[in-house]
Structure 1
Amino acid sequence: MSANTSPAAIETNGINTVPDAERHGRPAGLFWPWAASNLSLAGIAFGVYIVGLGLSAWQALTAGAVGYLLSFLLVGAVSVAGPRTGAPTMAVSRLPFGRQGNKLPTAFSYLSNVGWETVLVTLSAMGGAAILARTAPSAFATHGSGSAPTTAATALCFAVTALSVVLVGMFGHALIMRVQAWLTVVIAVFTVAYLVIMIPKLDLGRLGSLHGGGPAAFLGGIVLAMTLLGLGWVNCGADYSRYLPRRTAAGPIAGWTTFGGVLAPLVLLVFGVLMTAGDPKLAAAASADPVGALAERLPTWFLVPYLLTAIGGFVSGAIMDIYSSGMSMLALGVPIRRHLAVLVDGVLMTAGGFYLLFVSDSFFATFQAFLSIIGVAMAAWCAVFLVDVWRFRGRDGESWPPPELARRVGWPAVAAMVAATAVGLGLITSTDENLAHAVGYLLTPGAKSGTWGAANLGVVAALPLAAALYAVLLKATHRR
């Protein structure tokens, strides 16, 4: 019983490894899945969120670009391990963490994937319901408002998006790659059309009206950009590159992964910042419903293409996550077939979507708390993982240690991740009252309420701390 992703995958000790005979393709092929997964109109809302930290337009653009590039360079570096081993990311993670110790980061990886699936499908439901209420108010808008969508409209959009993600996710890698290639082209065309329609509506004369923030706010913008993009994908880096030949050069693997991941978000970031400068009320509206807010100034005739573009982008990202979450479940040692793993994801995704749509008081507050908490854990894991990638640099695929022969527990890696995660969580804050008590315990009350507390420094601190601890503990263990 396995979560096989293609007929070529073979299972060894719970690890789906792609055999050499079935390896093919070039690193440039990595551009498509990453480009499709990040080509979403939510990227415009991300620009709004970064500005909302109190940054000027130029600060927001710089912080967002730096955060996007840094975080996806991590994804590219993680992707190098895929061709060398033929195994998915969280299976390769057994090398530093051990067979049993690896269950700790894999659990966080699974939560990250399911969390992002939930966020993307929830965004699709909120935006879709808002568009339906505007195009057919008699059927989908609440009586007397003419604009607020009904609960039934929200539930309908959520069900359609979730079902699409589940159905495609059941068929594995081959179908996903074909779907992503088509989605990239279609979404790109409609996204360009959206930008062309909205550019004349931008008030560029207000670009300098946004007041700049201090160093803490600027650093907070970089951290938010990192958690919005690359840190949500680091645990998936090798899942797609593993289909390349073993001797594929590391540079092109990391380069094409990074290029595909950041190209569309950078363009959409610029547009989101410009929209916020021209319409200050947009930030508040986007916090509640980014997709619906971005459609407020669209002509009615373009609402349906806009809706298809938004849903397509969210479906694309969620498909990538549901595929990788199946790999994480297998790495946890859960003997479950792909279609059942996808169904489990669907149930968890539905429960999370219900909380975000009907229980949480603020979508953005809960979303930001999720980004920070998961970002700390995945940053600590990524640092440990990349130390091993550095240790094995220069080796070809045949001389990389096979993940299935990993020790039982890699205590240096486990200890480094636990310590760095504990410190990182103590240095972040949350405006979600249900999650605020679990974080920020290393900050004074004044720091929590100040700009440095809002910067969520724990995400950045976890990276070097975990890498340094792992390197020191590994060296001490080898000496003994």
Structure 2
Amino acid sequence: MSDTATTGSGLEQTRRLGVETTGIEIIEESERTARPQDLFWPWFAANVSVFGLSYASFVLYFGISFWQSVVVSVIGIVVSFLLCGVIAIAGKRGSAPTMILSRAAFGVNGQKVPGVISWLTSIGWETFLAILAVLATSTIFTRLGWGGGTGTKVVAAVVVAALVVSASVAGYHIIMRMQSVLTWITGIVTVLYMVLTLDEIDFSAVMDIPSGSTQAVIGALVMVMTGFGLGWINIAADWSRYQKRTASGPSIVVWNTLGGALAPVVLVLFGLALAGSSTEILDGVAGDPIGTLATLLPTWFLVPFLLAAILSLVSGAVLGIYSSGLTLLSLGVKLKRPQAAAVDGVLLTIGTIYVVFFADNFINPFQSFLITLGVPLAAWAGIMIADLALRKRDYDEDALFDASGRYGAFDRAAIGTMAVASVVGWGLVVNLFADDASWNNWQGYLLGPLGLGGKDGTWAFANVGVLVALVIGLVGGYLLRRRTVAHQEA
């Protein structure tokens, strides 16, 4: 039998097993069978995690009232996932991963600049979710008297990593089926959690929380946006690239936004009432979010809660590692998609082991990490949204892989806009965790010169740099690249 026949036979066998063989190449027309409503499942399953309850504590830590927190949470969650929905339109237009489509704006080689940022963000997110799953297992096993020490953590780390890597290696089709099942499991358990902890809410204590400053409200808004939609925006088109070419753009935006925002809005609002009722819950979340929430439950519900918590966290990590593998390929790494996912899985495992067994605190460094990468990621998102608004036609798919094609090797306007937006943005954010993440203490250098009170002033905690970077990227990308895009489409 010839080598070609053998390869073809192996490919067909792989497809029968349900493993996705497509990497960063353009999806064939015959494979583009998804509908806009199909986007609901992966986004909902990845965000229905009870960890969403924990964000309420992070919001309240900004020193704002319950009603201020409600407004901040709803606006931040919905708007950030709406931006994901807009980016998802690119997937339908080009049938390629987000970072490959980003080449139209940054150039085929210039895309590597935001590509590295995207890859680091995805690796950070998936590792963070895996860490939460391991710590939750340890806490609940301790509560049940089963032992939650080193042995439990080791086994949990291995199991979580195996689940995440296996699903991500299998690829799009299996993940989509898995997410539709996990949505129901995690959704039902989460609703039961809310019912069982309803009597923990003290509405009088919640309403007594004093209001905070405008700067504190903005800071909480930025944190919510980076923690939810902006944390996913760099992979939004990865899940829409299988959409039919005739799919409605507005429908893609709506289903993407609904799937991503629905569960977090409900969970964070309930979490605000829960955390606002007890300083013990409010403070406990910082060290072990899922484990702290489990302390409110009756013993008989701990196992279902643990399973649902792990599955929901794994669900989010799977989306992250699948897309981080695609991003790694977009940077020019010569691997197959399953191999790239496996490489990122190794990094996830190493990161999880280090944080769980050697780091003293991971929530604070993680939030500092989020804000730092959130600035250039917001700038990239603004440029991409401007690029989408300027284009009237679908992407030239061949040119996305040809540095001498219509998109060129580098788009100096896009790269320059991202650089300026990042420099300005970093100058307007402050590392709120100077002791735990001292490597970020260089930020905030524009707060003094611009008359905003310096690093110790009231605006220091607003972290407006993320929003400023988004606006600079959007406006700069639109104004500076209008002629370029028109020329590309001529």
Q: TM-score, normalised by structure 1?
A: 0.92
Q: What SS is found at the alignment partner of 2:25? A: strand
Listed as ranges, the matches of 1:330-369 within 5 Å are 330-369=329-368
Deviation at 1:476, TM superposition (A): 7.4
Q: What SS is found at the alignment partner of 2:261? A: helix
What is the rounded CA distance, in whole Å, between the counterparts of 1:116 and 1:398 in structure 2?
A: 29
Listed as ranges, the matches of 1:145-156 within 5 Å are 149-156=148-155
Give the corresponding residue for 2:411. Answer: 410
1:73 and 2:77 matched: no
Q: What SS is found at the alignment partner of 2:286? A: helix
CA contact (8 A) 2:107 2:408 kept: yes
What is the rounded CA distance, in whole Å, between the counterparts of 1:435 and 1:71 in structure 2?
A: 27
Deviation at 1:475, TM superposition (A): 4.8
1:290 and 2:299 matched: no
Match for residue 133 of structure 1 among 118, 130, 142 = 142
What is the rounded CA distance, in whole Å, between the counterparts of 1:242 and 1:9 in structure 2?
A: 14
What is the rounded CA distance, in whole Å, between the counterparts of 2:352 and 2:428 in structure 1?
A: 28
Give the corresponding residue for 2:11. Answer: none
Change (3 A) 1:91 1:289: same
What is the rounded CA distance, in whole Å, between the counterparts of 1:399 and 1:415 in structure 2?
A: 24
Give the corresponding residue for 1:458. Answer: 465
Change (3 A) 1:452 1:341: same
What is the rounded CA distance, in whole Å, between the counterparts of 1:119 and 1:47 in structure 2?
A: 18
| 1:170-226 C-alpha deviation (Å, 9 max, x unpaired) | 101111001111100111111111111111222222221211111001011110110
Give the corresponding residue for 2:430. Answer: 429
Deviation at 1:361, TM superposition (A): 3.5
Deviation at 1:401, TM superposition (A): 8.4
1:82 and 2:91 matched: yes
Give the corresponding residue for 2:262. Answer: 263
What is the rounded CA distance, in whole Å, between the counterparts of 1:94 and 1:326 in structure 2?
A: 17
Give the corresponding residue for 2:131. Answer: 122
Match for residue 96 of structure 1 among 99, 102, 105 = 105
1:199 and 2:168 matched: no
Q: What SS is found at the alignment partner of 1:170? A: helix
CA contact (8 A) 2:426 2:465 kept: yes
1:443 and 2:431 matched: no
Listed as ranges, the matches of 1:357-396 within 5 Å are 357-393=356-392, 395=393
Structure 1 range deviating more: 362-371 or 457-466: 362-371
Q: Percent identity?
A: 37
Aligned length: 463
The one-letter code of the counterpart of 2:411 is G
Deviation at 1:359, TM superposition (A): 4.0
| 1:380-434 C-alpha deviation (Å, 9 max, x unpaired) | 00111111100114x3x47788523431111111111111111111211221333
Change (3 A) 1:427 1:346: same
Q: CA RMSD in A?
A: 2.2
What is the rounded CA distance, in whole Å, between the counterparts of 2:380 and 2:395 in structure 1?
A: 25
Q: What SS is found at the alignment partner of 1:80? A: helix
Unaligned 5+ runs, structure 2: 1-6, 8-13
| 1:353-396 C-alpha deviation (Å, 9 max, x unpaired) | 23433444332211211110121111000111111100114x3x
Q: What SS is found at the alignment partner of 1:243? A: coil
Give the corresponding residue for 2:49. Answer: 40
CA contact (8 A) 1:9 1:17 kept: no
Unaligned 5+ runs, structure 1: 141-148
What is the rounded CA distance, in whole Å, between the counterparts of 2:126 and 2:116 in structure 1?
A: 15
CA contact (8 A) 2:421 2:472 kept: yes
Give the corresponding residue for 1:145. Answer: none
1:304 and 2:308 matched: no
What is the rounded CA distance, in whole Å, between the counterparts of 1:207 and 1:401 in structure 2?
A: 57
Q: TM-score, normalised by structure 2?
A: 0.90
Deviation at 1:268, TM superposition (A): 0.2
CA contact (8 A) 2:390 2:485 kept: no
